[in-house]
């Protein structure tokens, strides 16, 4: 299956964004565009403001200056109801997949559906659960408890759980953290499969350069409060910038 990136449609458009906490000036003129169907990897050292940017995009924080459009809407202008509706179109895959251990895989997947989509029949719920589980290759785990699964499998189930609401945008926060190298590659492949099968656009926050290279159609490097360099993996790391080089040198690449 081929990637279909529509560069004429921006699902995320951030312009000259500023955010400070007291004297700590975290974001200083951030610009970022994500096209429909595109996977953009955000790289940056710890504390550079990656999470702050994501929180502004989903309305958990407000910027001091600049604009952040998500699916055509200025997030800071939305009321609570509009924000809830927007967040339903965004799938979050957090570092800790946070599955409920007291529920089976099936129940974990049903949970967001039952909570957010009204009027689904039992058969429709079953169908959706089975279809996303199949998409992540774990249909056989449907009646298992998350505690019986490996870290990589739990990560997949977490991704399936976000896919069940058919998001337009996926936000992956450190998708490969804590996984062994082979499982990391499987998760990178899954991120690409999700992009192709579900036509999602994504921001992938990672420190893992293999993940960045395998999943990123474009890499955006957050340095000194803004995206100093954006381009393909090769373009970004071909830069003769000591800060980018040192990021590369200190991160293991396979
Ligand atoms: N609500 C807040 N109040 C005050 N300071 C904050 C707040 N949120 C974030 N910060 C500060 O902003 C800076 C950037 O934080 P952020 O969590 O975005 O970093 P990050 O790039 O995501 O780091 P990591 O890779 O470690 O997750 C940090 O110095 C953090 O302490």
Looking at residue 127, its pLDDT comes to 96
Q: Identify whether the C-beta of residue 107 lies closer than 8 Å to the C-beta of residue 157.
A: no
Nearest CA to ligand 1 atom 26: 46
Looking at residue 70, its pLDDT comes to 98
CA 44–ligand 1 middle distance (angstroms):
12
- Domains of the chain, earliest start first: 1-87+170-179+207-254 (3.40.50.300), 90-166 (no CATH)
Write the pLDDT tens digit of every residue in 115-152: 999 999 999 999 999 999 999 999 999 999 999 999 89
Ligand 1 atom index nearest CA of 22: 4
pLDDT category at 53 given cuts 50, 70, 90 is very high
- State yes or no: pLDDT of 254 exceeds 50: no
CA 56–ligand 1 middle distance (angstroms):
12
State the SS3 of 105-148.
Answer: HHHHHHHHHHHHCCCCCHHHHHHHHHHHHHHCCCHHHCCCCHHH
Nearest CA to ligand 1 atom 30: 47
Q: Identify whether the C-beta of residue 239 lies closer than 8 Å to the C-beta of residue 229.
A: yes
75 Cβ neighbours under 8 A, 6+ residues apart: 56, 57, 58, 59, 68, 69, 83, 86
Q: Of 11-15, 94-98, 145-149, which gets the smallest average pLDDT?
A: 94-98
Looking at residue 1, its pLDDT comes to 62
Interface ipTM above 0.90: yes
Ligand 1 atom index nearest CA of 61: 1
Pairing of strands 201-205, 39-43: parallel
Classify the phi-psi angles of 24: left when phi > 0, otherwise alpha if psi is within -120 to 50, otherwise beta: beta
Nearest CA to ligand 1 atom 6: 21
Pocket (CB within 6 angstroms of ligand 1): 21, 24, 26, 44, 46-52
CA 26–ligand 1 middle distance (angstroms):
8
Write the pLDDT tens digit of every residue in 183-209: 999 999 999 999 999 999 999 999 899
Q: Which residue from 23, 30, 44, 49 has its CB within 8 A of the most atoms of ligand 1, so it is best to mutate?
A: 49
**Rounded-to-integer distance, Cα 187 and Cα 181, Å:** 10
The values of phi and psi at residue 189, to 5°, are -65, -40
Residue 119 pairs in a beta bridge with none
Q: How many residues can be counted in the chain?
A: 254
pLDDT category at 252 given cuts 50, 70, 90 is low
- State yes or no: pLDDT of 217 exceeds 80: yes
CA 19–ligand 1 middle distance (angstroms):
11
Burial of residue 99 (number of CB atoms within 10 Å: 0-12, 13-18, 19+):
buried
Q: Identify whether the C-beta of residue 27 lies closer than 8 Å to the C-beta of residue 55.
A: no
Q: Identify whether the C-beta of residue 227 lies closer than 8 Å to the C-beta of residue 50.
A: no
């Amino acid at each position: 299956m081929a990637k279909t990136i529509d560069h004429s449609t921006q699902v995320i458009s951030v312009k000259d964004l500023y955010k400070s906490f007291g004297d700590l000036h975290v974001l200083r003129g951030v610009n970022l565009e994500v096209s429909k169907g595109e996977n953009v990897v955000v790289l940056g050292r710890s504390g550079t403001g990656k999470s702050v940017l994501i929180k502004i995009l989903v309305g958990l924080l407000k910027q001091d200056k600049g604009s952040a459009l998500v699916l055509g809407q200025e997030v800071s202008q939305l009321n609570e109801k509009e924000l809830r509706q927007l967040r339903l179109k965004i799938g979050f895959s957090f570092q800790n997949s946070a599955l409920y251990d007291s529920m089976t895989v099936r129940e974990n997947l049903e949970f967001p559906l039952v909570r957010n989509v009204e009027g689904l029949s039992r058969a429709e719920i079953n169908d959706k659960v089975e279809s996303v589980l199949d998409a992540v290759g774990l249909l056989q785990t449907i009646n298992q408890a998350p505690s019986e699964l490996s870290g990589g499998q739990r990560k997949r189930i977490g991704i399936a759980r976000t896919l069940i609401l058919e998001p337009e945008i996926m936000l992956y926060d450190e998708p490969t953290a804590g996984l062994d190298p082979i499982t990391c590659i499987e998760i990178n492949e899954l991120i690409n499969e999700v992009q192709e099968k579900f036509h999602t656009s994504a921001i992938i926050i990672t420190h893992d350069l293999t993940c960045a290279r395998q999943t990123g159609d474009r890499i955006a490097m957050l340095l000194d409060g803004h995206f100093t360099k954006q381009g393909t993996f090769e373009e970004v790391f071909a830069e003769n910038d000591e800060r980018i080089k040192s990021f590369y040198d200190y991160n293991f690449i396979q």
